[in-house]
Chain A
Amino acid sequence: MAEGLYKERFDGRTVNEVRPMTAKVGIVPSADGSASFETGGTKAIAVVRGPRTLHPQHMQDGQTGILRVNYGMMPFSVWDRIRPGPNRRSEEIGKVCEWALNSVVDLSGFQNTVVDVFIQIPKADAGTRVAGLNAAAMALAHAGLPMKQMLTAIAVGKADKTLLVDVDKAEEDFHDGEGATDVPLAITSRTKEIALLQLDGKISPAELAESIEMGKKACDDILKVQMEALKNVTGESNE
């Protein structure tokens, strides 16, 4: 591993290693599409409802359907209980996830409708928005909505001078040396472009470029997990 104060990862992973992943499709029977994505101590559930007519009417778009993303953490997902309901953090994350998913989904054939995506986090050990995006992309595909390509997401980052893939909570809280940097990324599956990027910490341009490349490689593996799950829809539906 690189020089610096963070030499060995707390859980023994290599710098490029993603925590063990499990993906399932078809977990909520009454939904139009649903999926879960679990990696280490983080799990996301995504549910798609729609397309359905959007009310109030003045919010409708005659040119295209509208995607709406709602993100929230369950009250028992972390050590300090979270009050149920929306908050500033969850509203913002919902919006950035909405932009990211909008770059791959094509709702132009569904004028005046809305497609709702609900992302919920039953357990959290960092990387909840990227786990949520991985689940949401599968749920949209499961709902049979037109997609230009898949979307795959990962949080990369840095603890002191060491670049890391799939940063967990203990690494996010790394305070020594240069501290921790957290970069959630979403990458489109075919064109390999960045659909979501947020950054929190201190990192040089060269290091950021390198960590994005590390993230793209990890996304190739995550994509395989997503595609495999989509071929093996598990749950039963209400139909």
Chain B
Amino acid sequence: MSKYIMPNLQKEKIESYLNEGKRLDGRTAVDYRDIVVEDGVSPCASSAIKVSVGKTQVMVGVSLAVTTPYPDSPAEGTFMTSAELHPMASQQFDIGRPGINAIELGRVIDRGIRESGFIDFKGLCIKEGEKVWQVFVDIVALNDDGNLLDVAGLAALIALGRAKMPVYNEETGMTEHEFSDNPIPLNKEAMSFNMTLHKVGKAIVADVSKEEEAVSSYRISIAVGEDENGKARITAGQKGKAGTISADEMQTILKLVEDKWTELFPKVKEYAFG
């Protein structure tokens, strides 16, 4: 029946493996698990996909609705990311209002997308001061096997990249139940991709499992996009948990982030834009 995960009992084993550069699941410290993207989760959304990274699974949908703009930005659309850490995904999640973990996850992803300039807010204006598009990104966790933040963030980017504009009926002021072939207005070159590294034992580890996540001393999330010359450019960062980062570790982290970005970013673009 219910299996209670007790990662603290595994802590020594996880750490001693990592000291030899190994992990319990056979990966090296910096390997990501396989990424699988499935499309067509819901025909009623601009796009709705399921993304699996190893056994961590999320569903993400993008929906658009017509709304009135904020008074201080009358010619810009609006954007909102919500995350549900539903108890179906993990024993540790509870029913009811989003807890601090769901709120942080939603906010970190929201901020990363908003501040990178990936969404073309001016392109979401229908009539200045009256009508603009509101973009919703809704994240539902299906199974938590570690690193939900990166998996959800990745899924949000891919879903936005694949989203199609609804058909807008000017006479009724409503959207039709169909989508055009036009993508939503995006600045593709501004896309930036979040990677979270954890310190487990003495090692800096990418794409943590649930057990590694539970015993890490700190985590650091860094979002990286592309500059004019195609080189890595950091656009967002957030450190979590109580551990502290040494100068050497920070160097290791920045080097690792750049390497992983170079490896993964072309794949992410391929998933998002085909």
Which of chain A's residues 45-81 have a Cβ closer than 8 Å to chain B?
45, 47, 49-52, 70, 72, 74-81
Chain B residues near A11: list those with CB within 8 A.
Answer: none
- Complex CA gap A74/B62 in Å reads 11
The contact of B95 among A32, A70, A78, by CB within 8 Å, is A70
Residue of B with least CB distance to A80: B65
Chain B residues near A12: list those with CB within 8 A.
Answer: none
Chain B residues near A70: list those with CB within 8 A.
Answer: 87, 95
Residue of A with least CB distance to B60: A76
- Complex CA gap A123/B89 in Å reads 18
Stretch at the interface among A23-31, A159-167, A176-184, A213-221: A23-31
Residue of A with least CB distance to B166: A79
Residue of A with least CB distance to B95: A70
Chain A residues near B2: list those with CB within 8 A.
Answer: 32, 49-52
| Interface bracket on B | 35 or more
1/0 contact trace for A128-150 toward B, CB 8 Å? 00000000000000011000000
B138 contacts A81, CB within 8 Å? yes
Residue of B with least CB distance to A143: B1
Stretch at the interface among A98-106, A114-122, A192-200, A223-231: A114-122
The contact of A49 among B87, B98, B136, by CB within 8 Å, is B87
Given A50-B1, A76-B41, 14 extra CB contacts under 8 A: A28-B57, A28-B143, A32-B1, A74-B42, A74-B59, A74-B138, A77-B45, A79-B175, A84-B138, A118-B86, A122-B42, A123-B43, A124-B44, A143-B1
Closest 8 CB pairs of A and B: A76-B61, A76-B45, A118-B88, A75-B138, A47-B88, A123-B42, A81-B63, A29-B55
